[in-house]
A and B are shown apart, each in its own frame.
Chain A
Amino acid sequence: MTDIATLAKPRVETTLKDWETDQEVRWCPGCGDYAILKAVQRTLPMVGADPATTVFVSGIGCSSRFPYYVESYGFHTIHGRAPAVATGVKLANPDLDVWIITGDGDGLSIGGNHTMHVLRRNLDCQILLFNNEIYGLTKGQYSPTSRAGTRSPSTPFGSVDYPARPAAFALGSGAHFIARAYDISKQLPDVLTAAYNHKGAAFVEIFQNCIVYNKDVFADFTEKKNADEGQLWVEHGKPMLFAKGTKGIALDREALALKVVDVVDGDWRAADVIVHDVANRSVAHMLVEMPFGPFPMALGVIYDDPATSFEQAVVEQNEQGARGKTPDLQKLVSQGQTWTVKADADAAKGPAL
């Protein structure tokens, strides 16, 4: 779904090394963030990004340290507000490539409002939400994406609230691009490339393994032995198959819901398996709502249907509003009903209207 606007960007040749900073990376050894950082540093040369026009904006949390480790412009802002800061950056200079790095607490709890609005407005940016279902930097409290029953220092008897579902939230907020991957998945650079090439807000949920406070919480589908049954990588124009092509996703036409079907001898058409269409919003809704367990985890580019981006609309309106008008400060301050006072005027007669 690459559109003309992104193709027009000048390509800059770089290598992975060009995107590394001299700063010591300070995540826990074995943290999933390392893999995501590498995937991003691998993606940027692939898409021909220019370090000088690339800006990483983050909030607060483990993931939000990210900008310090990418050799580009970076702004480590305050908790939850990265989308708002990024909106100002992009509106002030639409030529910049803006990446927002956030987490489940930063992006869905304290900053949930900004995440919703940046998606609704469709600001041209990439939003990478590292979801580890826990507050890592503050030492392990349950987060808005933690599953019910999560035991943590703040919920010693288990959390009782229902978790937020990031991709469903994003789609519900009006996002035009939704993708999912996990930290160590080899497809992550491809997913990031698709996000980069999407003009508008591209929301990528990345399942990230917090090895200290929520170790292996996604192992049910990320571990090698569970990958075949647990992962459904969707691809535009391709049937939704998993378990080495022996199973697929079809529509239960009576219940108007998805169902898992068996595929015999690779004949997915006979099993009525859905061919993925990234522009189909209804199916995207069903994919992000698909409960893991009875279903595999839908990964890859789930939805990609570009629309006019926010900064583009703002720039156009600004240009239209300014068209044919010459800025003239003197004229501006002299607007409205004015009158002139003359020194020699007969005061009793009053000023000339």
Chain B
Amino acid sequence: MASAAPTSTAPLATHEAAPEAVVVRFAGDSGDGMQLTGGQFTLSTALAGNDLATFPDFPAEIRAPQGTLFGVSAFQINFGSSDITTAGDAPDILIAMNPAALKTNVNDLKAGGLIIADTGEFGERNLVKAKYESNPLEDGSLARWQVLAFDISALTLESVKPFGLGNKEALRCKNMWTLGLALWLFDRERQPIIDWLKGKFAKAPELAEANIAALNAGHAYGETAELAVPVKQLHMAPAPVAEGLYRTVTGAEAISLGLVAGAQLAELPMFFGGYPITPASAILHHLSRLKEYGVTTFQAEDEIAAIASAIGASYAGSLGVTSSSGPGIALKGEAMGLAIMTELPLVIVNSQRGGPSTGLPTKTEQSDLYQAVYGRNGDAPMPVIAARSPTDAFDCAIEACRIAIQYMTPVMLLTDGYIANAAEPWRVPDMAGYAKFPASFQTQVPEGGLKPYARNEKLARPWIKPGTPGLMHRIGGIEKEVGTGHINYAPANHQAMTELRRDKILGISHELHQDVALGETHGKLAVVGWGSTFGPIHQAVRRARRKGLDVAHIHIRHIWPLPENLGDLLDNYEQILIPEMNTGQLKTVLRDQYLVDAKSLNKISGQPFRIAEIEAAIEGMLA
């Protein structure tokens, strides 16, 4: 399918006109600082006004053995002067810091794409480690691509010589040398990176100076050296974007900010119980610094204590939040049931990763949909919201807080490793534009006596904080009596309470409306997605529509309950295609709910969809 990828960008080395978008992948050893280099390149891209999307792809091992194939860490960025929604299919440029990085990444490179390689790392030892029988830079095996190979290691050592660093430390500056070259290639300002280096190495100014020297040397090399292939400097015009203040944001940052905003809009203190797990830990890290927003973070002894403490905090009148990834979410299952039974607000963030079990901790997948919607004992309905992108995660987090509080229920917010780690430009929202939803607590005995399980128009029960005089009562995981909340095992009561819990959650669908993201509200084919597949689906549908195909894109944020009009909307299309990074979980839910003959497109490789893959599936269905 990859061969169907259209060449939307002009071959770099031969055309002077700048292409609309370029995909660059930095790949090196996990100790080479590729994520850092990618992150800084992203910043400079954003500052240049290009739209962008990134895809960090790193091994689970912190420091895998040097030079090995499994120790390769990569960072891909797609940027350009038009709307960018994916990290890009095939890279135009691959920067390979060693043979292993070349070997694991080169086959993704577009035909005619450019390889920049460090010959200093292509010695016998590293070639053997990467399982190369001969040097690919010399044996002609890279003929499909253009190769720009020079001794970055030696050039770096030369550039940092004045600072008297040891060989090992000096070589660490290689990534900045490479970044300098990349900045030159795309006509970027060096100053923001220089400022950042000064801040980062404030305590070791000689390291700051060495890194800056390496950066400058790489840049100068591009400017002055007669490169082996005629690379032209590219200036990418800024993308046309709405006016306003912008910043870059990762999904983990956006969720943290959204949770804080949600708690503030609810006028509640927030309690966050977490336990370290990849890729969810970043949320705990972000929130632990925001004490002035009434945020208490608690690193619990395990996943169960993380959610149990959050439930305790909600019971006591805070907004309880917990976060994890698949395996940790599984551990929290019983406690989610407790929150459902005791009808307390709670937000559970699940940054999905490849599973089952430990699975692929640093790779992305959206295979926890069943777990989110169905994964608890008993009839245990719970709202599920899925973010489509890093910036969307902000609004989704606010939405999760609102529903949790207004309906007195735990809510699961799904993101994934891709959204959590990826960065994109974010137009800073105007917080005054967000409606407040202040939480209200019962403080008086109502007429007719205290009823902790009384219902309002949303079927939510009152929130009563311990510490309130005269409203003492007991709650727990045993079935509650309708109204009073006393223990009650009676058959008719359990039937009534189970139906109440179900109807309360299903009732949320009345306020949910499903829009069409792209295309008409009826037609031959709807491509229905959820979560981080938004970008590739959107671009694929856009391309197919340009070819005149009758296809629309529907992207579902509310996985449970589903929006009220979704069934009718799906009925308007002859065919339905659901691309998912799992074996067809949303497909199962939609088939079950609406009896629609939805077809699956599945990718379970730990990598996001390529636009071309979805485009090919669309063309296949409309052929």
Residues of A whose CB lies within 8 Å of any CB of B are 21, 23, 51-53, 55, 57, 60, 67-68, 71-78, 81, 83-93, 95-96, 113-114, 116-117, 314, 317-319, 321-322, 325-327, 329-330, 332-343, 347-348, 350-351, 353
Q: Judge whether A340 and B248 touch: CB under 8 Å.
A: no
Q: Judge whether A85 and B296 touch: CB under 8 Å.
A: no
B304 within 8 A of A: yes
**19 A-B residue contacts at CB 8 Å?**
A74-B475, A76-B476, A77-B477, A88-B308, A88-B311, A88-B314, A88-B315, A88-B320, A91-B298, A92-B318, A321-B289, A332-B293, A333-B394, A333-B431, A336-B249, A337-B46, A337-B247, A338-B246, A339-B247
Assembled-state Cα–Cα distance A98/B359 (Å): 40
Quick one: CB contact mask for B424-436 with A, threshold 8 Å, 1 for yes? 0000111110000
Q: Judge whether B431 and A330 touch: CB under 8 Å.
A: yes
Number of B positions contacting A (CB below 8 A): 79
| Extra pairs beyond A92-B313, A318-B291, A333-B431 (11, CB < 8 Å) | A51-B472, A74-B475, A76-B475, A88-B314, A92-B271, A95-B467, A117-B300, A321-B289, A329-B260, A332-B260, A333-B428
Q: A78-B335, A327-B264, A339-B46 are in contact. Are A92 and B247 (CB under 8 A)?
A: no
Q: Judge whether A85 and B477 touch: CB under 8 Å.
A: no
CB-nearest residue of chain B to A67: B474
Q: A338-B428, A341-B242 are in contact. Are A350 and B48 (CB under 8 A)?
A: yes
B244 within 8 A of A: yes
Q: In whole Å, how far is B60's beta carbon from the nearest beta carbon of chain A?
A: 25
Binds A, one of B96-104, B111-119, B233-241: B233-241
The number of inter-chain residue pairs (CB within 8 angstroms) is 226
Assembled-state Cα–Cα distance A113/B473 (Å): 28
The interface residues of chain B lying within 8 Å CB-to-CB of A321 are 289, 291-292
**Which of B241, B289, B312, B430 touches A75 (beta carbons < 8 Å)?**
B312
B47 within 8 A of A: yes
The interface residues of chain B lying within 8 Å CB-to-CB of A329 are 260-261, 264, 293, 431
Q: Judge whether B466 and A93 touch: CB under 8 Å.
A: yes
Q: Judge whether B237 and A347 touch: CB under 8 Å.
A: yes
The interface residues of chain A lying within 8 Å CB-to-CB of B294 are 327
Assembled-state Cα–Cα distance A48/B238 (Å): 70
Q: Judge whether A92 and B312 touch: CB under 8 Å.
A: yes
B369 within 8 A of A: no
Quick one: CB contact mask for B191-206 with A, threshold 8 Å, 1 for yes? 0100000000000000
CB-nearest residue of chain B to A323: B292
Q: Judge whether B429 and A93 touch: CB under 8 Å.
A: no
Q: In whole Å, how far is B542's beta carbon from the nearest beta carbon of chain A?
A: 22
The interface residues of chain B lying within 8 Å CB-to-CB of A318 are 291, 296
B622 within 8 A of A: no
The interface residues of chain B lying within 8 Å CB-to-CB of A348 are 237-238
Q: A333-B261, A347-B240 are in contact. Are A85 and B309 (CB under 8 A)?
A: yes
Assembled-state Cα–Cα distance A71/B334 (Å): 27
B310 within 8 A of A: yes
Q: Judge whether B271 and A342 touch: CB under 8 Å.
A: no
